[in-house]
Structure 1
Amino acid sequence: MRRQPTVTDVASAAGVSRQTVSNVLNTPHIVRAETRERVEEAIARLHYRPHASARRLRTRLSETIGVRLDPVTDGISGSLLDRFLHALAERTAKAGFRVLLYTADDEAAEIEQFGRLIDGADVDAFVLTSTHHGDTRIDWLIEHEVPFVTFGRPWGVADMTDPEHLWVDVDGRHGLTLATEHVLAGGAHRVAFLGWPAGSGTGDDRRAGWRATMTARTDLTEAELAALDLTVDEDPTDSSVATRLVAALDPTPDAVVCASDSLALAARLALGDRVPIVGYDDTPVARALGLCSVAQQLDEVAEGVLDLLIGAHRGKAGGTDGVDDPQHRLVKPRLVVR
């Protein structure tokens, strides 16, 4: 096996000391330009790669991003996080960073994990998922000046302009607009929405897309729309949910658009294939059942998260002086028609 070049090899090739090579790698601004160029040329010619572990010991930077592995409460929707983590891990690896997964039963336990991981220099920054109203994790990270980016908006504050932290999210309102317009274009008129109870930032955002489109494109009254706005707050795959939906969806609507593929499955169990049903997240369940579904562009989400973490902003809350770059990324989803 070919021996990897060392700092000594670079120093010899450039005609400088080992310390000078170290200075070029870690504090290049203190090295004369002519000497720095000579060392950099030797590094490139020898294909030298600094030892990551040694560099972490010197700098106390782990080049590692922490992400919570959420408990699996819904195997259907859980595949979304799996796909996001895979996309994020791929991109961090290409950028020379790593992803560290940790678990926590609740927010308080996750905040304890933050403290342990930061104190041990195990991670440099965090990516938060499943954001919600009054998210105490965000407050803790801001207070302790820990770099982070959230996959999800800071629900409950000035979402689009909040300077306190960096976020990437998928435009759920736009996704349900696409879904509703699709079934309307297919001849539907009474389109029902199946979502979660009010108070879910994500669910409310998606409901708003349905309602705005129905208001603009149909002549249904507020009372008629209210009757078509249905919620489920238990396991949507429970057979009793389907039974209740059959009663609630009477008379049968022309189509149903849903806040998730789990809810789309419940609608399918209730209505069969009598009417078009559109889900959200484009999970394997939607593909297996042949349902149309809104696909979150998770590769684009992961790209945006990483850009905010290791790009010009460096994951810093409150913005970075002199950086003229949006602090937020709102990704447009796409409708997958089957």
Structure 2
Amino acid sequence: MPEGGSGATGRPGRGPVPHGHVTLSDVARFAGVSAQSVSNALNNPGRVAPETRERILAAVEQLGYRPNRSARALRNQRSRLIGVRVEPSRDDRAALLLDQFLHALAESAAATGCHLILCQADGEAEEIAAYRELLSTTSVDAFVLTGAHAGDARVAALRELRVPFATFGRSWDGDDDLAWADVDGRHGLHAATTHVAAQGHRRIAHVGWPGESETGRDRRSGWQQACTELGLDDGLHASVADDFDQGRAAAHRLLDLVDPATAFTCASDTLALGVMRALAERGLAAGRDVAVTGFDNSPGAALTTPGLTSLRQPLEQVAHDLVAAIEDLLQGSAAPRQTLLQPELVVRESSLRGPTRSTTSPSPTPTEETP
């Protein structure tokens, strides 16, 4: 039964206002309750009567009390460190996306009193070795994995080591015990395809990744579903590596057809920019002549001429949900947190019919379509 605490009918301010550093005991005296009641209100709210917890939280706010996270970590045997792998330095859009995600993850971790500890590895085996090294030399509480895929050896390794972890990317093996956060690429490509169809396009192609990519298959399925619903040909597609030149070559092939594509939805901004280069080489303008959409809303998407319509991944929310999932696991939650988030379609000139810009200035504030 929730406790009432001493002085349960009082109000904040009945005790003396402390000077200097405010302690938990100061809050207790000020609110007229026990120190244990204050601790429970902050850490186990279900054990405190609602009116008492409300009074304690008001006292915490009024006094500006901040819990000593270092002391809490010692009591709970926790380091508040989350390990995450970074890839070797690369100058491409995938690296920029990972960098944005790491910044978001660091901010979300800091909001819970945690910090990231980074390790570098070239491949999966090296990544597992790096995690083992961190566990043997550092008191790491948990890990965040990126690039989840079917048969992921990292998942098996961390389970064997009995360390909590969550993945950026869902389980492609149907693992219900895995904690993850992911972005719904199927939904995003469905929205992009529906958007260009609304511009009057009937020959909508998809330039995506090879079949072994689960994420690529997921994105392509959204395009296929939209084509089926709209009664359009779903045979206009190319599967290539995530490479500018391969996107360019794929576009040329699809434009050389007797009945060529008049719109392209792409699995990444890298491929979309390759498609736009192919259009320019043929004297065609993205948007005015052929619609183009990308995925990731990379920093360069707004700087192209014309601006590239792209799907923005909610990386801040992904990071928040992954940290929350880890907190749940560390507190002994039996049900892993799993969240699938929808990307936003950021519409720019590359998918809109009409005159295109002839300058290299950034496009104005884009509109965001809700599918």
TM-score normalised by the shorter chain: which range applies? 0.7 to 0.9
Match of 1:181 among 161, 186, 194: 194
Call closer, same or farther: CA 1:109–1:254 in 2, change over 3 Å: same
CA shift digits 1:131-167 (9 cap, x unpaired): 1222100111122221111010122x12xxx222111
Give the superposition deviation at 1:25: 6.8
Aligned equivalents of 2:135 and 2:20: distance in 1? 35
Task: Give the number of aligned pairs.
Answer: 311
1:168-317 mapped onto 2 (5 Å cutoff)? 168-220=181-233, 225-226=234-235, 228-233=236-241, 236-238=243-245, 242-243=248-249, 245-251=251-257, 252-272=260-280, 273=285, 274-289=289-304, 290-311=307-328, 313-314=329-330
- AA of the residue aligned to 1:247: R
Alignment pair present for 1:140 and 2:150: no
> Is the contact made by 2:297 and 2:311 (CA closer than 8 Å) also made in structure 1?
yes
User: SS of the counterpart of 2:324?
Assistant: helix
Call closer, same or farther: CA 1:195–1:188 in 2, change over 3 Å: same
Call closer, same or farther: CA 1:74–1:85 in 2, change over 3 Å: same
Q: Which residue in 2 is equivalent to 1:124? A: 141
> Is the contact made by 1:125 and 1:315 (CA closer than 8 Å) also made in structure 2?
no
Give the superposition deviation at 1:88: 1.6
Aligned equivalents of 1:56 and 1:242: distance in 2? 53
Give the superposition deviation at 1:193: 0.3
- AA of the residue aligned to 1:199: E
Aligned equivalents of 1:47 and 1:113: distance in 2? 40
Aligned equivalents of 1:97 and 1:259: distance in 2? 34
Runs of at least 5 residues in structure 1 that lack an aligned partner in the other structure:
14-19
Aligned equivalents of 1:112 and 1:267: distance in 2? 39
* Structure 1 vs Structure 2 CA RMSD: 3.6
User: TM-score if structure 1 supplies the norm length?
Assistant: 0.78
Aligned equivalents of 1:99 and 1:335: distance in 2? 30
CA shift digits 1:31-80 (9 cap, x unpaired): xx9xxx9xx99x95876656544554554411111111123445212222
> Is the contact made by 1:194 and 1:256 (CA closer than 8 Å) also made in structure 2?
yes
> Is the contact made by 1:149 and 1:315 (CA closer than 8 Å) also made in structure 2?
no
Call closer, same or farther: CA 1:25–1:114 in 2, change over 3 Å: farther
Runs of at least 5 residues in structure 2 that lack an aligned partner in the other structure:
1-18, 349-371
> Is the contact made by 2:265 and 2:294 (CA closer than 8 Å) also made in structure 1?
yes
Aligned equivalents of 1:257 and 1:70: distance in 2? 28
Q: Which residue in 1 is equivalent to 2:132? A: 115
Match of 1:335 among 324, 345, 353: 345
Give the superposition deviation at 1:291: 0.9
Q: Which residue in 2 is equivalent to 1:62? A: 79
> Is the contact made by 1:295 and 1:333 (CA closer than 8 Å) also made in structure 2?
yes
Aligned equivalents of 1:48 and 1:71: distance in 2? 42
- AA of the residue aligned to 2:158: L
Give the superposition deviation at 1:119: 2.6
Call closer, same or farther: CA 1:60–1:254 in 2, change over 3 Å: same
> Is the contact made by 1:142 and 1:164 (CA closer than 8 Å) also made in structure 2?
no
Alignment pair present for 1:150 and 2:184: no
Give the superposition deviation at 1:247: 3.4
Aligned equivalents of 2:338 and 2:29: distance in 1? 47
Aligned equivalents of 1:315 and 1:135: distance in 2? 25
> Is the contact made by 1:260 and 1:280 (CA closer than 8 Å) also made in structure 2?
yes
Call closer, same or farther: CA 1:47–1:255 in 2, change over 3 Å: closer
Give the superposition deviation at 1:113: 1.7
User: SS of the counterpart of 1:86?
Assistant: helix
Give the superposition deviation at 1:81: 1.4
Q: Which residue in 2 is equivalent to 1:16? A: none
- AA of the residue aligned to 1:115: R
Call closer, same or farther: CA 1:300–1:271 in 2, change over 3 Å: same
Aligned equivalents of 2:301 and 2:28: distance in 1? 59
Q: Which residue in 1 is equivalent to 2:352? A: none
Give the superposition deviation at 1:125: 0.6
Match of 1:86 among 81, 99, 103: 103
Give the superposition deviation at 1:194: 0.5
Call closer, same or farther: CA 1:189–1:48 in 2, change over 3 Å: closer
Give the superposition deviation at 1:3: 6.0
> Is the contact made by 1:69 and 1:102 (CA closer than 8 Å) also made in structure 2?
yes
> Is the contact made by 1:279 and 1:294 (CA closer than 8 Å) also made in structure 2?
yes
